[in-house]
Structure 1
């Protein structure tokens, strides 16, 4: 290759414009260099469309007509011989463009009007694929394209392919930069959205927990109201009977017909009646007191030190009326002197939930027991205190056992079940007590839910 051509190639290949990603600047540098090295005034860059049925002029420099851009398109159907030659992906060196088999189709529409006599087309390749050509057009008398000139033009076409790669790289880097610039903002916005969602979910969870608490207390209120009516009714009847006896003895006294035996009978009847009224009212008062303590504990989370063998019966007493209506016997088996330090409300709520769950799900249609029972057992074990609530009801199928602690899972939704009772229990034990919950059940043989209160709570 001539030294002049080599120097031009060296200058272009070393130019920062080729690799900085500005394709329009690199394109002009390459076409101007083509014109300089080949001593021509007209050259251009033509690129295929996606279907390779068109070749489109991206840059055309015509120094003789003072043009540096011209929108031209050539179609395969209009110039089939030319496109057939391009398909070989080789250089087209048409010394006489009017007669060359690849370029003769341009004679009347392109070559003669522009006084073009010779054409040199060299392929542009990018990533191994031909994407277009650099078209070198000589105006004036026909010329023969030399081997050095063809290599020179092909080398500049290769440099254009390098410039295309640089443009792609620059575009990708710009996209990365833009993504990095907006990433932090996107993360902040997403974080804010998640915080709002979490806050909303937490509020909803708190409302559901409170709703479940109120539902449990509602069951207690219904049971207590029914249970208190009985001793109050007995007390009222006893007091009324004593009043009648008092009226009768007053009549005998005023009519001076009161006898010693009649007075003794009066005192005996009244003593029995007042004793019955007193015991009935005491029972009602105890029920109310236990209920007040249970409801108060379930609405507060203050830590106290207390004895389970005294506290558990106080929690269970208000639940017995609710169970008695379903013909369920509640039994307690509690080891004495089990003292713990925790929130009484947690113990009250988990016992209420477990017993209510047994009452709602363990018995009913299809369960045939001589006596429906729910047993509450509390004992010391090596790792802490174990609280078991066991029933002899219908049991839970194996395929459902793993779901019972999931939120909103219930088999009694039509009867008003929320599916939150055992989930709330699980969260209370694992999060508040840092304990553990386990379940064992067999169909038609009952269910046992065990709660482990860890040693750190045990006094």
Structure 2
């Protein structure tokens, strides 16, 4: 191949138009290069249809003018298509009389003044997909091997451009798919976020309902417990008033004797002491309940004596346990000072004891019922524990006990949130851990480990 043709081929092969995936630009470049290299004024690129029954022009250049696209059906030019089927170069020096091109004489060659044709196959992935058609006017032209090799090389470069176009098409499709996927993911994510927000709102309401239900139980128990000392105080007060009225009557009638006055003083002393004891008891119950209830709602961090605080918690819990005929035993060490959230601790023990009423002691349970609460200091940590001698837990229940909304007492009003709240308070609010020890018919022990000073 001469130097001029090699130079043209090198320029085309190095052009970005070949590999950027734009077939229009690649077609223009290659057809202009054919015209330049061969010194002809008409050339074009034609591509076969998928069924090979038609060939369509993609780009035709005639005297530097771009012509409209043309189509040639197999049925009108069978000899030409038979030659194409061999997938070889068609080099027609005398196109009007060549076996492959003579069918074009009257309809294409003579009207356009074409005397010689050179068609070189374009291949993509091993198959012929079209041709580069070179058309010469003037004297008959015997296409040299160099010219055929030159056009064949340009045809191969066009095949490379077709491959680049296919890659670009796949990339665009992939980008579109990715965009659709991203849009779908964003839409699904938005839907999930909305659903999660709704679930969180519902869970918050349920948690608040669970907390208020626990406080409601405390209120009922404490109210019943307070009624006893208040009732005694009212009765004692009424008795003291009666004795005072009797004393006034005797004094007015001038019948008050020393013995009557001493009896009055003794009666008043006993009555006032009884009133004082019972009012103090009622005040203690109300004070401890107020502290426990307020702490459970506020969950504020503070420094406090855990031993003393657990004693306060147990006060409003005792009426509840007595109502269910359960003995409540409190095991405390000496003062355990911690920096933590008393409200969370109150909520934990209230939930554990309330949970016991529904699950630990069914109607069929026989024997004494006993709950044990306590705390032990362990260097920088504290172990708080709950124990009962109830029916215990199966392996399945023990595994799922902290799952939100899991309950074995749905028919009895269980929400499945009590133990979930306990777990979240221990692990998140107090930064601790919780351990379940239980076997069927062997009772339940829950050990809670927290730092003496929470980190959050």
Question: Which aligned pairs between 1:45-124 and structure 2 lie closer than 5 A?
Answer: 45-49=45-49, 54-63=54-63, 67-75=65-73, 82-83=80-81, 85-95=83-93, 97=95, 102-103=100-101, 106=104, 109-111=107-109, 113-124=111-122
Q: 1:229 aligns with which of 227, 230, 241?
A: 227
In structure 1, the partner of 2:435 is 438
Q: Please tell me whether residue 370 in structure 1 is matched to residue 367 in structure 2.
A: yes
Note closer, same or farther for the CA distance 1:323–1:245 as it changes in structure 2 (3 Å cut): same
In structure 1, the partner of 2:394 is 397
Question: Which aligned pairs between 1:132-211 and structure 2 lie closer than 5 A?
Answer: 132-139=130-137, 143-165=141-163, 204=201
What's the Cα RMSD here? 4.4
Q: Please tell me whether residue 353 in structure 1 is matched to residue 356 in structure 2.
A: no
Deviation of 1:452 after TM superposition, in Å, equals 0.6
User: Normalising by structure 1, what TM-score?
Assistant: 0.78
Note closer, same or farther for the CA distance 1:98–1:357 as it changes in structure 2 (3 Å cut): farther
Deviation of 1:156 after TM superposition, in Å, equals 1.0
CA shift digits 1:354-395 (9 cap, x unpaired): 222223333335x51323322112223466221111223333
Q: Please tell me whether residue 293 in structure 1 is matched to residue 291 in structure 2.
A: yes
CA shift digits 1:57-81 (9 cap, x unpaired): 2211122xx7413223345566566
> 232-241 vs 76-85, which deviates more?
76-85
In structure 2, the partner of 1:386 is 383
Q: 1:328 aligns with which of 326, 330, 353?
A: 326
Structure 1 regions of 5+ residues with no counterpart?
A: none
Note closer, same or farther for the CA distance 1:78–1:308 as it changes in structure 2 (3 Å cut): farther
Q: Which SS does the other structure have where 1:336 is aligned?
A: coil
How many residue pairs get matched?
Answer: 448
CA shift digits 1:397-433 (9 cap, x unpaired): 3223333223344444565544443333323323343
Q: Is the 8 A contact 2:326 2:368 kept in 1?
A: yes
Question: For the residues of structure 2 that align with 1:317 and 1:378, how far apart are their CA atoms?
Answer: 16
Deviation of 1:265 after TM superposition, in Å, equals 6.6
Q: Which SS does the other structure have where 2:328 is aligned?
A: strand
Note closer, same or farther for the CA distance 1:252–1:51 as it changes in structure 2 (3 Å cut): farther
Question: For the residues of structure 1 that align with 2:449 and 2:424, how far apart are their CA atoms?
Answer: 13
Question: For the residues of structure 2 that align with 1:382 and 1:42, how far apart are their CA atoms?
Answer: 97
CA shift digits 1:49-107 (9 cap, x unpaired): 566555432211122xx741322334556656655544544333345555656555555
Q: 1:421 aligns with which of 393, 401, 418?
A: 418
Question: Which aligned pairs between 1:225-264 and structure 2 lie closer than 5 A?
Answer: 225-247=223-245
Q: Which SS does the other structure have where 2:238 is aligned?
A: helix
Q: Please tell me whether residue 284 in structure 1 is matched to residue 279 in structure 2.
A: no
In structure 2, the partner of 1:220 is 218
Q: Which SS does the other structure have where 2:437 is aligned?
A: strand
Q: Which SS does the other structure have where 2:309 is aligned?
A: helix
Q: Which SS does the other structure have where 1:402 is aligned?
A: helix
Question: For the residues of structure 2 that align with 1:84 and 1:413, how far apart are their CA atoms?
Answer: 83
Structure 2 regions of 5+ residues with no counterpart?
A: none
Deviation of 1:285 after TM superposition, in Å, equals 1.0
Question: For the residues of structure 2 that align with 1:344 and 1:41, how far apart are their CA atoms?
Answer: 96
Q: Please tell me whether residue 451 in structure 1 is matched to residue 420 in structure 2.
A: no
Note closer, same or farther for the CA distance 1:363–1:107 as it changes in structure 2 (3 Å cut): farther
> 168-177 vs 437-446, which deviates more?
168-177
Q: Which SS does the other structure have where 1:341 is aligned?
A: strand
Note closer, same or farther for the CA distance 1:455–1:243 as it changes in structure 2 (3 Å cut): closer
Q: Which SS does the other structure have where 1:405 is aligned?
A: coil
Question: For the residues of structure 2 that align with 1:47 and 1:55, how far apart are their CA atoms?
Answer: 5
In structure 2, the partner of 1:12 is 12
